[in-house]
Amino acid sequence: MLNLSWMGSALSLEYVAGNLHRAATRGSGERGEDVTLNAKLVANVPLRLNIPADCHVRGEVVMPLSVFEQNIEMFHQILVTFVLALYAKSMVMERLMQLI
């Protein structure tokens, strides 16, 4: 049996008087990360509701495979930069441990 599903990032939107006030992810699980500026760039996230309501909306942000494929080189460069930074941190920690 095959179950298709979306893999995304949970997003919580807070609207005040119908205007997007704050967007947050789950973050560490105890405290969310404020991603309001990034959320405003997502085409499907409305900056204003049709009614002046105060509410919270939760959902998932997903990237279609076609968008990922169009931007694969950029994602590869980001991944390489991230891995190199982790490697550098590891080397610094190893060197500090030798000094102790």
**Do both 58 and 35 map to the same domain?**
yes
- Domain membership of residue 1 (yes or no) is no
> What is the DSSP secondary-structure string of the chain?
--------EEEEEEEETTEEEEEE--TTSSSPPB-HHHHTTSTTS-SB-SS---EEEEEEE---HHHHHHTHHHHHHHHHHHHHHHHHHHHHHHHHHHH-
- State residue 49's pLDDT score: 96
Is there a single domain that holds both residue 15 and residue 45? yes
Q: Is residue 25 part of a domain?
A: yes
Percent of the chain with pLDDT over 90: 35
User: Is the pLDDT at 60 greater than 70, yes or no?
Assistant: yes
Residue 8 above 80 pLDDT? no
Does the residue 46 lie in any domain?
yes
Please say whether the beta carbons of 54 and 16 come within 8 A: yes
- Structural domain span for residue 37: 8-62
Is residue 13 domain-shared with residue 53, that is, in the same domain?
yes
Residue located via tokens 């939107």? 13
> What CATH number is associated with residue 54?
3.30.470.30
Looking at the fold, whether 51 and 79 belong to one and the same domain comes out as: no
